Amino acid sequence: AQTVTQSQPEMSVQEAETVTLSCTYDTSESDYYLFWYKQPPSRQMILVIRQEAYKQQNATENRFSVNFQKAAKSFSLKISDSQLGDAAMYFCAFLEPQGGSEKLVFGKGTKLTVNP
């Protein structure tokens, strides 16, 4: 079974600085997807960024980028120029394609605090 590990229960960053959230996973599959989801205090889960395992290029979405190391099974999220609105729980998630009925496997999450 796939597992996702987020080793940092909590992180903090100063506004405008950069922070990196760690995620490792375990799978024997070669084709899969990885996601970072953000869950602000209002609790709606929002997709931040996704990475297809077959793509070597790291995904980037504005201030958010990932460092995907397939061999090491590592998928870290870098947030640049942190803003107060970035404060949230961040969940790393793994998904193995299964013909449409896929299941997300979540890590336990990292609570990010942004200090003004």
Tell me which residues in 41-100 interact with another protein (CB under 8 A).
42-47, 50, 52, 91, 95, 97, 100
35 near another protein (CB under 8 A) = yes
Residue 81 vs 102, nearer CB to another protein: 102
Strands 10-14 and 110-115: parallel
The stretch among 18-26, 32-40, 64-72, 80-88 that binds another protein (CB under 8 A) is 32-40
11 near another protein (CB under 8 A) = no
Beta strands in the chain (DSSP E): 3-5, 10-14, 19-21, 24-26, 33-39, 46-52, 60-61, 64-69, 74-79, 88-95, 104-106, 110-115
Torsion (CA) 39, 44, 48, 50 in degrees, nearest 10: 110
Sole residue written with tokens 């395992």:
53
Contact characters 96-115, another protein, x per CB under 8 A: -x--xxxxx-xxxx-x----
Residues that bind another protein (CB under 8 A): 33, 35, 37, 42-47, 50, 52, 91, 95, 97, 100-104, 106-109, 111
